[in-house]
Amino acid sequence: MPSSPQDQSQQQNQEPKQELENQEQRDGGKEETKEEVKAEENENKNEEMKQKKKKEGKKEEMEQRKETWKDFIYNPATGEFLGRSASSWGLILLFYLVFYGFLAGMFSLTMWVMLQTLDENVPQHQDRVANPGLVIRPRAAEISFNRSDATKYNLYIQQLHELLQQYNDSIQEHNELCMVGEYTEQDNEMVKKVCQFKRSTLHQCSGLPDSSFGFAEGKPCIIVKMNRVIGLKPRGDPYINCTAKRDSPLQMQYFPSEGRLDKMFFPYYGKNLHPDYVQPLVAVKLLLTKDDFNIEQVVECKLEGSNLRNDDERDKFQGRVTFRIKISE
């Protein structure tokens, strides 16, 4: 049905109302958006203010710390240095000066008393060296060379010559002729005499008739000596005995005869009282044959005929020495 004029007029009145309502809603939405933007801006401003305050607070703390450290090192208001006044520092320094001075005095007194009990010529304790060890020259646990090439054994020969320099007859003639088989005791003498041990007593192993000490012919000489021990007086008749660790015995020659260490060279009084002392030597000439060449020989030399020990398993050099030798053609 066609609408009546009244209905049309009502519709025309409602349309402006709806437009106004829609316009009001749009205006309200814009206001709400503006309020939200303002609120966000305010929040951002507040955060920036907070950050600025934090930075300013950190700067203030740093400045306060610097001032605190400066005041701790030196405070001009109180005149304190490192938290203490000058009088306080003076008392502390005085205390430590007296304290450490007392300690130094006690230490010096203790050292002085201890030094009064020592003898500069004789060790107070030498229990661990009551039994001397043996050493050999050339100084090598394994001796290996070609007898046809002198360069292979020149080093060994050089060591023997250097050892025997002080035993030259021309030097030893200035020393004393001592009583054979008797101790040379001279406890009450200020100047200790030295007994002669001439190089020539080693005969074929002296390096005089044969400057190569038998190395050139493949029958080398090995010199055995006993370490020095102050005050040592071995009982009995000490001598050096060497054996080869093999099935058949190895022929050897000893110089002096029987490898004796004469008692006239004992006791030894130390390097201060006995500076020119020479210890007795025993030279062992190994009489190797051609059948023994190119075979390693193990030889052990021991100190026999006295009260000195040579069988301590904890010390392989006490009263004995072992070396290996191999000669090639």
Residue 152, domain CATH? 2.60.40.1660
> Do residues 207 and 311 both lie within one domain?
yes
Helices (H) and strands (E) in the chain, counts: 4, 10
Which pLDDT score is estimated for 118? 79
Domain end position, chosen among 84, 112, 140: 112
Q: What would the mean pLDDT of 211-239 be, rounded to a whole number?
A: 94
Which pLDDT score is estimated for 57? 63
CA distances from 224 to 89, 205, 280, 287 (A): 69, 12, 9, 16
> Do residues 79 and 197 both lie within one domain?
no
Which pLDDT score is estimated for 329? 83
Convert the pLDDT of each residue in 119-176 to its tens digit: 777 776 666 567 899 999 999 889 999 999 999 999 999 999 999 999 999 999 999 9
Q: What would the mean pLDDT of 293-310 be, rounded to a whole number?
A: 94
Is the pLDDT confidence value at 272 over 90? no
Cα 104 to chain center, whole Å? 29
H-type alpha helices, the chain: 5-73, 86-116, 154-164, 169-172
Residue 9 within any structural domain of the chain: no
Residue 323 within any structural domain of the chain: yes
Is the pLDDT confidence value at 207 over 70? yes
The helix (run of H) or strand (run of E) holding residue 225 is: strand 221-226
> Do residues 187 and 301 both lie within one domain?
yes
14 by Cβ neighbours in 10 Å (0-12 / 13-18 / 19+) ranks as exposed
Token digits for 275? 């500076």
> Do residues 294 and 208 both lie within one domain?
yes
List beta partners, residue 240: 303
List beta partners, residue 284: 222, 254
Residue 37 within any structural domain of the chain: no
> Do residues 92 and 234 both lie within one domain?
no
Residue 21 within any structural domain of the chain: no
CA distance 46 to 289: 110
Q: What would the mean pLDDT of 80-97 be, rounded to a whole number?
A: 85
Q: What would the mean pLDDT of 255-279 be, rounded to a whole number?
A: 92
> Do residues 99 and 233 both lie within one domain?
no
> Do residues 262 and 311 both lie within one domain?
yes
CA distance 45 to 180: 116
> Do residues 159 and 300 both lie within one domain?
yes
Q: What would the mean pLDDT of 196-209 be, rounded to a whole number?
A: 95
Q: What would the mean pLDDT of 227-254 be, rounded to a whole number?
A: 93
* Most confident of the ranges 72-76, 111-115, 202-206, 269-273: 202-206
Q: Which of 207, 222, 199, 241 is nearest to 288 (CA)?
A: 222
CA distances from 133 to 310, 318, 319 (A): 9, 4, 5
Are the beta carbons of 164 and 252 closer than 8 angstroms?
A: no
Mean pLDDT over each residue of the chain, to the nearest integer: 85
Is the pLDDT confidence value at 98 over 80? yes
Question: In angstroms, how far apart are the furthest CA atoms of the chain?
Answer: 171
CA distance 213 to 252: 14
Show the domain range for 78. Answer: 56-112
* Most confident of the ranges 45-49, 77-81, 318-322: 318-322
Q: Which of 214, 193, 184 is nearest to 202 (CA)?
A: 214
Residue 108 within any structural domain of the chain: yes
Could you give the percent of the chain with pLDDT greater than 70? Answer: 80
SS3 content of the chain, % helix, strand, coil (to 5): 45, 20, 40
HEC assignment per residue over 238-279: EEEEEEECCCCCCCEEEECHHHECCHHHCCECCCCCCCCCCC
